[in-house]
Amino acid sequence: MSANKDALILDIQRMSTEDGPGLRTTVFFKGCNLVCPWCHNPESIRSRPDLNWFGHKCIGCGICETACKQGAVGRNAGLVKFNRVLCKACGDCAEECPNGAIELKGKLMPVETLFRELAKDRPYFGADGGVTLSGGEVMLQAEAAAALARLLHEAGIGVALDTAGCYDFRTLEAALPYTDLVLYDLKIFDPVEHKRIIGADNRLILENYRRLIQAGARVWVRTPVIEGATGSPANIRALGAFIREAGVPDKWELCSFNNLCRDKYERLDLDWQYKNAGLTRKEDIENLRNIAAEYVPCAVYSGTTV
């Protein structure tokens, strides 16, 4: 576990209140091994930097076309268009763009440097807050994550780890001694549905949850409420029965859906099947919360509803 290791980071979000207790700084690791179609962080999925294009800032000067040595910038109906297969993510176009219309999201940072950056926020952490390591899937960069968690822990800063649990449990073990709270996603209980919708088997995820509880970790389970995918009474019942049997967490949070991230998809030239989906209805999520609480009394819901 080396603090000289680089971490590929998407972003650092300060004063966060949704990624664990208290006021927090959330660091988003880049790269994910699941493909949840409702993902709110599409820029975090690929394990490499991604170009974001802000169309409203583009003045059509064409400087980016000249700057790109890979021939990855062209035009489509007069608008700048990136060939993301040819793009080598060198960032030359972003550097040359006179109007800040291109941004390269994702950069390598030595863990030690990242730690120093995060530790600057210590004044607002208070007794409950701290740093949340999120993603993407933070455990795809397990060595860097464990090294960072250790530095934070040794500096007396609370560490939460936000993970979807789809990997060998040994991957997580190195970080656990330095982690105060694990935010653990459980989305769909039925393995066939999980595979169909998210693209991966969930047996490992369920088994890792069980092992996490057995290891004595403090856990908050999080379930996004997505109509037609996770947000059915049957799924919440099945997850509830599993959680009750495998071990009750400190909290089970049902998180409402919003489509505020749709601009992120546009900046990456991606279509998003949920771009016009509405907010979760309050009565629906309350109903699901009541079902969840039949199994796990600590069930709550969060987020904006209509």
Contact 194, 229 (CB under 8 A): no
- Nearest in space to 274 (alpha carbons), one of 256, 251, 248, 249: 256
Minimum distance from residue 72 beta carbon to ligand SF4 (Å): 4
CA dist., res. 42 & res. 272, Å (int)? 10
- Nearest in space to 235 (alpha carbons), one of 187, 195, 197, 199: 187
Chain residues 154-193 in contact with ligand SF4, contact rule CB under 6 A: none
Minimum distance from residue 256 beta carbon to ligand SF4 (Å): 35
Amino acid at 30: K
Beta carbon nearer to ligand SF4, 40 or 107: 107
Minimum distance from residue 95 beta carbon to ligand SF4 (Å): 8
CA dist., res. 81 & res. 73, Å (int)? 6
Chain residues 67-96 in contact with ligand SF4, contact rule CB under 6 A: 67-68, 70, 72-73, 80, 82, 87-93
Minimum distance from residue 166 beta carbon to ligand SF4 (Å): 30
Minimum distance from residue 42 beta carbon to ligand SF4 (Å): 18
Write the binding mask 46 to 65 for ligand SF4: x where contact by CB under 6 A, - elsewhere: -----x------xxxxxxx-
Contact 94, 102 (CB under 8 A): yes
Number of amino acids touching ligand SF4 (CB under 6 A) = 26
How far is C-alpha 171 from the geometric centre of its chain's CA atoms?
Answer: 18
Pairing of strands 130-134, 159-163: parallel
Beta carbon nearer to ligand SF4, 61 or 174: 61
For residues 217-231, b (16+ Cβ closer than 10 Å) or e, as one string? bebbbbbbbbeebbb
CA dist., res. 65 & res. 69, Å (int)? 9
Minimum distance from residue 10 beta carbon to ligand SF4 (Å): 16
Beta carbon nearer to ligand SF4, 93 or 205: 93
Q: Is 111 in the site for ligand SF4 (CB under 6 A)?
A: no
Minimum distance from residue 43 beta carbon to ligand SF4 (Å): 14
The single residue among 99, 214, 287, 290 that binds ligand SF4, judged by CB under 6 A, is 99
Beta carbon nearer to ligand SF4, 23 or 104: 104
Contact 160, 180 (CB under 8 A): yes
Q: By three-state DSSP, how is residue 89 classified? A: coil
The site for ligand SF4 (CB under 6 A) is made up of 51, 58-64, 67-68, 70, 72-73, 80, 82, 87-93, 97, 99, 101-102
